[in-house]
Amino acid sequence: MRLSLWAMLDLHVFLANLPYIIFGILGLFLLAQLYYILFVYSKLSRYQIEPNQTETDLPPLSVIICAHNEQDNLREFLPSILNQDYTNFEVIVVNDFSTDETLGYFRI
């Protein structure tokens, strides 16, 4: 199959302009990414979620712990219960006739 002279010239022109076409397509992709960075992501970075309740509106909470020979567990977990972010709470520990030093832990 023989190519005509015009087809060879068109192919020659196309191949000569191929780097410009590739850079043009990459430039369009770059512009699309810049649009997303400048307009979409910047709006997302300024978006603030409003809290549902303020700390003064939170209802009081009671944490009741039944402790029967739980000295080691209380020593490990009670500090994390007392250091929580919830501000309006109380902790009630019920000593259920422990034979270890559970009661002595609270006298410290």
* Cα angle 27, 30, 33; round to 5: 155
Sorted by sequence, the CB contacts under 8 Å of residue 87 that are 6+ apart come out as 55, 58
Mean per-residue pLDDT pooled into runs of 10, the chain (108 residues): 61 81 94 90 80 72 92 91 88 89 77
pLDDT at 12: 76
Only one residue has tokens 């832990």, namely: 105
